[in-house]
Amino acid sequence: MNTQEIINFDRIAEAISFIKQNFKDQPDLDQVAEQVHLSPFHFQRLFTDWAGVSPKKFIQYLSLEHAKGILKDKQATLFDTAFETGLSGTGRLHDLFVNLEGMTPAEYKNGGAALQINYSFAESPFGHIIVASTVKGICYMAFADDKQKAFEELQHQFPNAVYTQVTDMHQQNALFIFRKDWSQLPEIKLHLKGTDFQLKVWDALLKIPLGGLSTYSTIAGEIGSPQASRAVGSAVGDNPVAFLIPCHRVIRSTGEFGQYHWGPTRKTAMIGWEAARSNTATIGS
C-alpha cells in the first residue's frame, strides 16, 4: 500500500468501528463522515470502494444480524426486536427483512414456516440436480450427486418450510435451460434471498452471455465496487441457484478456471458445453 491507501484504510477501519459501536442509533451518512473528517460525498465513495457496500447498507446489515439474533429468542416480540435494534417501528423492521433476507421477520422467526416449497430431482448434462421453487419462482438449484444429502442442504436453507416433492411450472421452465435451442426458453422467475451486494453480483452473473466468461475483478467493476474482488468471490460461491445463475462462467484473471462448489471438473465441462453451443468464448477484460 502507498501512503494514501494506508490513510484511506485507517479511515474506513475507524468508520466501521464507529458504526459497529453505534448502529443502534442508526447514524446517518453525515454523522459517520464527520467522525473520519471527510465530506459525505467523498466518504460515501471511499467506503463503498473498500467495503463493497454503501455505509447505509452496512448499517442495515448490522441491524439485520442483530435483529436475527433477538428473534431467535422465541419470547421476543417484533416490537421489542425493532426497539432493541434502534428502528423506529415494526414497519421498518419488516422492510429491513424483506429487502435483505427475502422474508418477513415473522417468517424468519418461524424458520421459514410460512413458505411452501416444491422440489424435484432431474437429469442434466452434468449429473443429477435438485430444483426447488416457491409460488414466486425458483429458490434453489444444486447438483445432487447424493439425493438425500442434496435435500438436507435444501432443508438447511429453509429449515421449517413445508416441502412437497412435485414438479411445478417454475421448475419445468427452469429445466428447459438445458435444451439446445436457447431462443425458445420460457421466462424463468427466481425467488432469491441475499444481501444487496450478493444480489448485485448474481444480477451481474446473469448478464454474462452463453459461451462467455468473466473474471472476479470484472464483475467487481461492473457493480461499482472495483476494490471488492474478494467479496465478489464470496458472493459467487454463495450462489443458491446453480447453472441458472451462471457462477461457473467466472474465472480467475490469470485464465485459470479456479474452484467450483460442485467440483472443478464439472465447471470445466459446463464451460466447454456452452462454448460449443455458442461457437464463441470471450473473456471480460
| Residues with active-site annotation | 247
Look at strands 214-215 and 162-165 and give their pairing.
Answer: unpaired
CA distance 36 to 19: 11
- Among residues 208, 209, 210, 168, the alpha carbon closest in space to that of 189 is found at 168
User: What's the order of all strands across the beta sheet hosting 138-143?
Assistant: 138-143, 127-133, 116-124, 162-165
Contact assessment for residue 185 and residue 229, using Cβ atoms and an 8 Å cutoff: no
All three cell numbers of 86, joined, read 434502534
Count CA atoms within 13 Å of residue 13 on its CB side.
Answer: 6
Contact assessment for residue 138 and residue 241, using Cβ atoms and an 8 Å cutoff: yes
Name the residue with cell 417454475: 170
- Among residues 277, 257, 255, 276, the alpha carbon closest in space to that of 268 is found at 257
Angle between the 78-85 and 55-71 helix axes, to the nearest 10 degrees?
Answer: 140
